[in-house]
Chain A
Amino acid sequence: MKSAKSLTGYAFSLPALLLYLPFVLLPFVGTASMSLFNWTEAQKPVFTGLSNFQIVAASPELKQSLFNTVFYLVATIGLEVCGGLVLALLLRGGVSGAKVYQGLFFAPVILSMTVVGLLWKFVLNPYFGLLNGVLTKLGWESLCLAWLGDTRTALLSVCFVSGWKYAGFYMVLFMAALTGIPKEVMEAALLDGTSAVGRAYHVTVPLLSKTWWLCVLLCATGAFQTFDLIYVLTDGGPHHSTEVVISWMIKVAFDRLHLGQGCAIAVLVTGIVLLLAVPYRLLSARKGAEL
């Protein structure tokens, strides 16, 4: 009876494993091992030890794309996580129609990055875009720029588009956490005569620290996985000013066909993401949190 049952356990897990092992885990074994080979499409792979890593490490493009990724990371934490927190606090302030606002702000989250990127390419278009149109109407013509075509503004513009899409996502996470704060705590602060800003700063924000760190983690690991938005908006340009690690990896592997080097970059990305995510997961598991 017992062995029959355990056989059923294996049989039931089989379909999932048949998908998961070859299409999720095997590619990572592939990435790790092929990063040690000089692998181009035309020739047989030759074992070259760590030389791919040396080439990648010496490349000025690594520095540039890592810098851009970290810039994107910091900017999106500011725009999305802080923005989402502010929105959540504003909505908790007792405005009428909070549900409508919430629904509206979350809407861009479900749109694909492709659609969002293409839409914003129009909005930021230097000749007939909405943004420059508005600036002209306000008489600020000197501020009309080629937002995505200028090395000084391209990366920041990309970050703003990401912020436009995701602020609502973090807002919903913070809203959920805010409803978890006991009413008594808020009432006590109200009775003490604390102002709205003081209440937010001294009471609400510290109580949200768990959610805050989750959001920062999602944003940070998200930055090291960003591809879609860059691909649609700028393809890394102009002059690599918006190149992030993944867009660079794709170019190295699929345009220049240095597959081994591409895998070395992938190993680097995997390492960074795991380094960020695993300690958080372990810590929160120990504390008995859900996520």
Chain B
Amino acid sequence: MRVQGLSRKASRLAASLGLLLFTGAVSFPVVWMGYSSLKTNVEIYQRPWGLPQNPVWNNLTEAWQVGSLGKYVGNSVLVTLSAVLLIVFAASLCGYACARLPFRGKTWIQSLFLLGLVLPIQAAVIPLYYLLKQMGLLNHRAALILPYAAWGLPIAMFIFRGFFAQIPKEYDEAGRIDGCGEFSLYWRIFLPLCKPAAGTVALFSALSCWNELLMAVLFVQDDALKTLPVGLLAFFGYRQADYSLLLAGLTLVTLPMLGVYFALQRTLMKGLTGGLGDLR
């Protein structure tokens, strides 16, 4: 029995060691980026991982201005917000119809969306580019908003459908007695009930829109409309050797994201393990 206790202690120690090692591997690059952004270029070269001797806070403000990060953040906010609103609206309506309204095309619509869960988005970009060109949408924000919304729909629709299907029938009847039409039944009774589902959908769709790169690279070339990932790459392109400035820009983009993450951590992981996160 004592031997077993000892081996348990040893294995616990090994576990802690492994976890600490991985903690270092995960956090140190980010921490290093953070303090290196306060160094001068010379310092970065001479002492790659030493702390800054005289923190140059000016790097941060300069990176924000030189990299026009404000402009790119603004674009990303606009595109993300519009796409998320579209997703929540269209997917909840369709999910509501598929869960609670009897109509003939229902199975068809659901199989179509099921297909959307497995199709690789990257394999669609070539015709999508020319479709958007024909529609005159290239180099408009809509060239990102509409595809982002469309590709966010399938998973969102199934989350909403699952949620609406669980609501008891009595809500329908009560609403109808109150004289609700079909739309106001959805809008006034069911949509407010599904706030948790809408929250999960909004959070995950916002994250994938905010981070999207491929379509953002292809469909918007006008610098005034670029979203943050593409704008950041552009900044890295024209300031190639100005390492302290680039690190400062990267820090400015990363730290707020991590802040938001640590604030919303619980909701995020619950959404992921609740069945249908699609972060990958």
Contact = CB atoms under 8 A, between A and B. Distances in A.
Interface stretch (A51-59, A67-75, A201-209, A219-227): A219-227
Given A13-B109, A107-B258, A19 B120 contact: no
Contacts of B65: none
Contact of A24 (B11, B124, B213): B124
Interface in B41-57: 44-45, 48-49
Interface of A: 2, 5-10, 12-13, 15-17, 19-20, 22-31, 34, 86-87, 90-91, 93-95, 101-115, 118-120, 122-123, 127-130, 132-134, 137, 164, 166-169, 172-173, 175-176, 193, 195-197, 218, 221-222, 224-225, 227-228, 231-232, 246, 249-250, 253-254, 259, 262-263, 266-267, 269-270, 273-274, 277-278, 281, 290-291
B29 A130 contact: yes
Interface string B82-105: 000010011101101110011111
A245 to B, nearest CB: 9
Nearest to A280: B118
Interface residues of B, number: 102
B147 interface: yes
By secondary structure, the A interface counts as: helix
B97 A9 contact: yes
A164 B28 CA distance: 12
Contacts of B118: 221, 273-274, 277-278, 281
B93 A12 contact: yes
Interface string B220-256: 0000000011001100100000010011001001100
Contact of B150 (A24, A128, A172): A24
Given A19-B90, A94-B12, A173-B273, A28 B102 contact: no
Nearest to B109: A13
Nearest to A245: B122
B193 interface: no
Given A19-B90, A193-B4, A115 B126 contact: no
A13 B29 contact: no
**Pairs of residues from A and B, 10 with the lowest C-beta to C-beta distance, nearest first:** A30-B127, A9-B103, A112-B211, A23-B150, A27-B124, A6-B103, A133-B48, A176-B273, A12-B97, A16-B94
Contacts of B157: 16
B165 interface: no
A27 B48 contact: no
Interface of B: 4, 7-8, 11-12, 15-16, 18-19, 22-23, 25-30, 32-33, 36, 44-45, 48-49, 86, 89-91, 93-94, 96-98, 101-106, 109, 112-131, 146-147, 149-151, 153-154, 157, 182-183, 186, 207, 210-211, 213-214, 217-218, 228-229, 232-233, 236, 243, 246-247, 250, 253-254, 257-258, 261-262, 265, 268-269, 272-273, 275-276, 279-280
Contacts of A127: 45
A128 B45 contact: yes
B16 A15 contact: no
B214 A228 contact: yes
Contacts of A87: 19, 22
A276 B186 CA distance: 38
Given A19-B90, A90-B18, A122-B247, A110 B213 contact: no
B120 A227 contact: no
Contacts of A105: 22-23, 26
Contacts of B213: 112-114, 227-228, 231-232
Contact of A13 (B97, B125, B268): B97
Contacts of A250: 125, 214, 218
Contacts of A109: 279
Contacts of A254: 126, 129, 218
A269 B122 contact: yes
A19 B149 contact: yes
